[in-house]
Amino acid sequence: MAEFQRLGIRKFPKIATRQTSETRYWKKLSFPIIVKEYGTVSHVDFCRSKPHNFIATSSSRIQIYSSSSNQVNKSFSNFKEKVYCGSFRNDGNLIVAGRENGSVQVFDVNSRAVLRDFKGHTSPVQVTKFMLDNLHVMSGSDDRSVVCWDIATGQDITTFKEHKDYVRCGAPSQRSEDLFVTGAYDHWLKVWDVRSQGSVLSMDHGSPVESVQIFPTGGLCVSAGSNIVKVWDILGGGRLLAGFSNHQKTITSICFDGDYKRLLSASLDRHVKIYDVQDYTVFHSMDYPSPILSLAVSPDNTHVVTGMANGFLSIKYRMRQDVQHEVQTANKLTAGTYSYFVRGKNFQPDKGDFVVSAPRKHKLKEHDQLLKKFQYSKALDSVLRKPPYSRTPLLVSLLQELTRRKGLKRALAGRDEDSLVPVLEFLIRHVSNPRYTVLLIDVANAVLDIYGPVCGQSAKVDQLFTRLKDRIGSEIHFQQTSFELLGSLDTLFAAAVSTLSLTTDHDEGQ
């Protein structure tokens, strides 16, 4: 004997809300800690060595935050003008920063003393980074020059002046001690080798370059300008590999996560987008209350820090894996307990998992049980008793099923005033909804066929029939007006095309 097929509720278009494993991963970040800085937070940088403290550069102050307490450990505030791009050396012992007066300074983290003060730029220096060997510093300035400095001697090794506009971003190679890349407002990315006298490679981004990063392999780099991110093949001669845009406004900062499996971009549209570096599809998006100027992710993926234009620093973090393991060990389930009995009850498989399902006998709902017994009128009544906000798709599906079974008139016939009123009220409310109109017109015709001969016996029912007539008449009038307007627009468009064609022919004749 065939199993009874339950009523299938029609599904109408809606926004997908299913969460992927990647979405759940990023949503595990804590509610952000918001810290008020002394100005717009122009740069954030993490130390590569443990405990992965981070720097926030804002206005005339550089502050070092502890990754464990998320509080300020040290503050460098003896600047008379703005300071830019405070960056850690890989070992975390030194910091380099550019100043508005054109100097580049190297600080000792422990004593906060100025160890080196490089002078050579004539405009504010907004790009400073340590090279891979930790013995040299590269800098880029608004005077359009790029300089590589020797920390030991305090002298410049080489100076490049090929950029035609402000140099606002740069990144050293993680494979070579001599290579680094810079981006400028002249739309160009340039790869430099300190052993040469000029750039070894140039790439046109097409808009002012705000941020640049190099993959750890050293063969690819990523640039951000306007609202577009582009991926370049350095080893392939600067060939463009990909370009994508998922922001509405200018992208101000891009960075990798600690595993270099994800790329993050921050924009003035207040969003951070997270991409898969395999195909650059968007994994997840995070919203912030203000335009974002700087972004960084800790090497152990426990912190996501953003600096905003309103002077606030947002710190999102998650527990480290070793701490999570200790918590899980402390909460280890014991056999025989209730938690052990219900373990895995709410587990949801990830996308792509192979799920082996066992046949289950589903309990039929009230309307399905009545449909199974061919009690169509009672099935309709059972759905009409539900709250209005939850019954609409179910009731539409039931009416469609009754029409398919040729049982619609059976379900509507033999009703008194109290049981007919909900049907008429539903028709009046939804007959003009384009998703249901075709079906509900047939239902309305069936109601009129059954109860038309007895009109006049109930004032309430007669009033509802009048309202239904007015609703349908109003919709017909609206459709007629729409078609008249469409005809007028077609006439105007045809006249415009004809006029354009005559003008073109006349110009060609002359």
| 331 occurs within a structural domain | no
Q: What is the CATH number of the domain that holds 223?
A: 2.130.10.10
308 shares a domain with 439: no
pLDDT surpassing 60 at residue 1:
no
65 shares a domain with 161: yes
140 shares a domain with 37: yes
Predicted confidence at residue 127, as pLDDT, reads: 93
Predicted confidence at residue 327, as pLDDT, reads: 42
pTM: 0.60
| 347 occurs within a structural domain | no
372 shares a domain with 296: no
311 shares a domain with 404: no
212 shares a domain with 115: yes
| 352 occurs within a structural domain | no
Dihedral sign (CA 320, 323, 327, 332):
positive
297 shares a domain with 157: yes
Q: Where are the beta strands (DSSP E) in 37-155?
A: 41-46, 54-58, 61-65, 72-76, 83-88, 94-99, 104-108, 114-118, 125-130, 136-141, 146-150
372 shares a domain with 312: no
DSSP state of 239: E
| 330 occurs within a structural domain | no
| 324 occurs within a structural domain | no
Report the relative pairing of strands 251-256 and 262-267 from DSSP bridges. Answer: antiparallel
Mean pLDDT over 219-248 rounds to: 91
| 377 occurs within a structural domain | yes
Report the 3 state secondary structure along 453-473.
Answer: HHCCCCHHHHHHHHHHHHHHH
Mean pLDDT over 488-501 rounds to: 80
* DSSP assignment of 254-309: EEE-TTSSEEEEEETTSEEEEEETTT--EEEEEE-SS-EEEEEE-TTS-EEEEEET
Q: Which residue, of 300, 317, 334, is where some domain finishes? A: 317
Confidence tier at 130 by pLDDT (50, 70, 90): very high
272 shares a domain with 194: yes
| 351 occurs within a structural domain | no
313 shares a domain with 165: yes
Q: How many domains does the chain have?
A: 2
Alpha helix stretches (DSSP H) within 301-365:
321-330, 338-341
pLDDT surpassing 50 at residue 324:
no
Confidence tier at 330 by pLDDT (50, 70, 90): very low
| 348 occurs within a structural domain | no
386 shares a domain with 273: no
Mean of per-residue pLDDT scores for the chain: 85
CA distance 146 to 161: 6
pLDDT surpassing 70 at residue 328:
no
163 shares a domain with 269: yes
Q: What is the pLDDT of residues 279-299, one digit of tens each?
A: 888 888 889 989 999 999 998
Domain span at residue 401? 368-494
